[in-house]
Chains A and B, each alone.
Chain A
Amino acid sequence: MLKIKNLHAKVGDNEILKGLNLDVKPGEIHAIMGPNGSGKSTLAAVLAGREAYEVTDGMVELDGTDLLDLEASDRAREGVFLAFQYPIEIPGVSNLNFMKAAVNAKRAHQGQPPIKAKDFLAKVKECSSLVELDGRLRDRSVNEGFSGGEKKRNEIFQMAILEPKLCILDETDSGLDIDALRVVSKGVNAMRSPDRAFIVITHYQRLLDHIIPDFVHVLSNGIIVKSGGKELALELEAKGYDWLKEEQNA
């Protein structure tokens, strides 16, 4: 589904990704771990098409489509979803209207007519119960005055509504208490399907107790230095990242 080859990217003069390779197949969950500054969030931003990040080399394909060639909004319509580490507030725009605009943008892209109000509301009801998002939050302005946990739940709610092919979770666990973590994970797990893939970026093993990855990759200094199964995350939790650096240097 997603093929990343030799990806180089920089912000300003600062090269952050230095030849990253990753292959994600439908149905898989890949966890990306690594120390601060290793390039995890940059990878998310580059995949989503944030303008400040300049890709200098390499390629990224989603089901054969060259993602790097597309605007951010077109990537989203092609099925790339990024759950933000810090979700953005948009005052005066109701969460529901925001989602409706997004759903219809995607439908227009696929040559479908706008969604019927009844269908949309049914979808909203289904998805909000998935992450225990109450009606009050659905009707309020996008993320405005939401707590940290509510914002993260709202991200997963939006993800559920938009039914993306590729879901990228950028440190979705940061700032979550145990209960919120459980709710968010439940939502993600419910969305697992044979034709959907996840990239879960996290610092901590604890998220991976709830969302069990098929693969764990360690990102360090802009490249993946080690890949393994879910047990790799446990090893990292126990030993930290330093031993990897030593292994690399050896």
Chain B
Amino acid sequence: MKGTEEENLLSEVTEKNYEYGFTTEIESDTIAPGLDESVIRTISKKKNEPDWLLDWRLEAFAAWSKMEEPEWAHVTYDKPDLQSISFYSAPKQKKVLASLDEVDPELLKTMEKLGISLEEQKKLSGVAVDFVMDSVSVATSFKETLGEMGVIFCSLGEAIQEHPELVRKYLGTVVPQRDNYYAALNSAVFTDGSFCYIPKGVRCPMELSTYFRINQAGTGQFERTLIVADEGSYVSYLEGCTAPQRDENQLHAAVVEIISHDEAEVKYSTVQNWYPGDKDGKGGVFNFVTKRGICHRAAKISWTQVETGSAVTWKYPSCILKGDDSIGEFFSVAVTNNKQQADTGTKMIHLGKRTRSTIISKGISSGESQNSYRGLVQIHPSAENARNFSVCDSLLMTDRCGAHTFPYIEVKNPTAQIEHEATTSKIGEDQIFYCQQRGIEEEEAIGLIVKGYAKDVLNKLPMEFAVEAQKLLTISLEGSVG
């Protein structure tokens, strides 16, 4: 079994081009590029939103208009020209879809290329997939099964129509409209995303997953995800993304909010594989994402991410540990190759007593890329006996890349226990030769060594993702030793 997998891996490795670089030709309903108040009104109207949401968007827009794009991250790029972006692009389709048969065959084909045919997913893996192509969800499966348990899993747009009270109660409570430049922009113009609500005491029986995809050339994608786990509930949520190859930079500014109520647990796993640009750094996605969760009493949130794509990334999935005895976790593998730049990490904000957090970050830099870990561990005066354990390791594949670590630790309570470990190492010629001497080719050897290095994080991924993630690691590092 394992052997065939490795072989498949190898053959994929030899295919040089970004393999998800195709576009689907579907008639799109796209509004003219540019951003002003009327664009926001148009989006809101197209989505048939209630007035309170339009007002909420306009507030965000007003706040955003006074903000400056941040420059503190360890990345350099040409700022995207927002006036040249179209802020709404929805695949045209007939009314509401009752079954897969009604979905545009072109869309289905795209899904097949991605290896996530809904039919197959349904049968084989028990994963309910809410597939987001550009901005509008086109298919949702397993809805009935989930519905029987009271689990709501749908597009945010749908939730706004059908569960407005829930959306209104939670939207923006973890990532406020004016949180930061791109979160504010997202709040003003978000088009769709996923919504998930797990009722009290319910253990969601399947992994919930959403695939995101930027499909329309020049369309910024502003997804917004809201996950609410009510008291004592559990949910594991998977998010993976691939984007077609583009020459101009594409902006992706998503917001994810998680509310984990008393004794609830949310696992959020991401495999991020947006187009990274070519070898010279041309093209590629700008991935400026705000992800944050709040933990109430004895609640838990785990962020696990495998980041291999995007030209520029800044992303800090964070936990506000508000309730006593709550737990936050962050497990990350970030790979950068060629000219990619990543500035990623987490924030653990300890407010409650006996709150605990764990951070394991594994950076892998290759080519001429720059890979930074940036993390904040903050122990507030109220957080008696809080604990944090952090590991951040960096692996260098070439002598032209950079690995940087920016750990911030603020402790305002003397009972806190903080541990921080960090290492930087270069992939060893000796290790590669040792593998080769046992008959393992160089590319496979690198894959093996890197997977070993990232094992602590890969182990945290749900099975469905682990294989894909391992493939991505190997593919992203192809031909990278030097």
Q: Chain A residues in contact with chain B, CB under 8 A?
A: 48-51, 71-73, 76-77, 81-82, 84, 87-93, 97-102, 104-109, 114-115, 117, 141, 158, 162
Contact = CB atoms under 8 A, between A and B. Distances in A.
11 contacts: A72-B436, A73-B441, A73-B442, A84-B437, A90-B452, A92-B451, A92-B455, A93-B452, A100-B3, A101-B3, A141-B452
Given A88-B430, A92-B451, A117-B1, 17 more contacts: A71-B436, A72-B437, A73-B435, A73-B436, A73-B442, A76-B438, A84-B434, A90-B431, A92-B453, A93-B451, A93-B455, A100-B2, A101-B448, A114-B1, A114-B7, A115-B3, A162-B439
A82 B439 CA distance: 11
A93 B449 CA distance: 7
Interface string B439-465: 111101000110111111000000000
Nearest to B438: A102
A93 B448 contact: yes
The 8 A-B residue pairs with the shortest CB-CB distance in the complex, in nearest-first order:
A114-B3, A92-B452, A93-B452, A104-B3, A76-B439, A102-B438, A92-B455, A72-B436
Interface size band for B: 20 to 34
Contacts of A105: 438-441, 444
Contacts of B438: 76, 98-99, 101-102, 105, 158, 162
A98 B447 CA distance: 12
Contacts of B452: 90-93, 141
B4 interface: yes
A73 B439 CA distance: 4
Contacts of B7: 104, 108, 114
Interface string B404-444: 00000000000000000000000010110111111111101
Given A93-B448, A100-B3, A48 B437 contact: yes
Contacts of B207: none
B6 interface: yes
A97 B435 CA distance: 12
Contacts of A88: 428, 430-431, 433-434
A76 B6 CA distance: 18
A141 B433 CA distance: 17
A76 B454 CA distance: 27
Contacts of B442: 73
A175 to B, nearest CB: 17
Nearest to A82: B437
Interface of B: 1-4, 6-7, 428, 430-431, 433-442, 444, 448-449, 451-456
A115 B3 CA distance: 8
Nearest to B2: A100
Contacts of A81: 437
B456 to A, nearest CB: 8
Contact of B434 (A90, A99, A114): A90
Contacts of B451: 92-93
A49 B6 CA distance: 24
Contacts of B439: 73, 76-77, 102, 105-106, 109, 162
A38 to B, nearest CB: 22
Given A73-B436, A100-B3, A108-B7, A91 B441 contact: no
A76 B434 contact: no
B433 to A, nearest CB: 6
A84 to B, nearest CB: 7
A49 B441 CA distance: 13
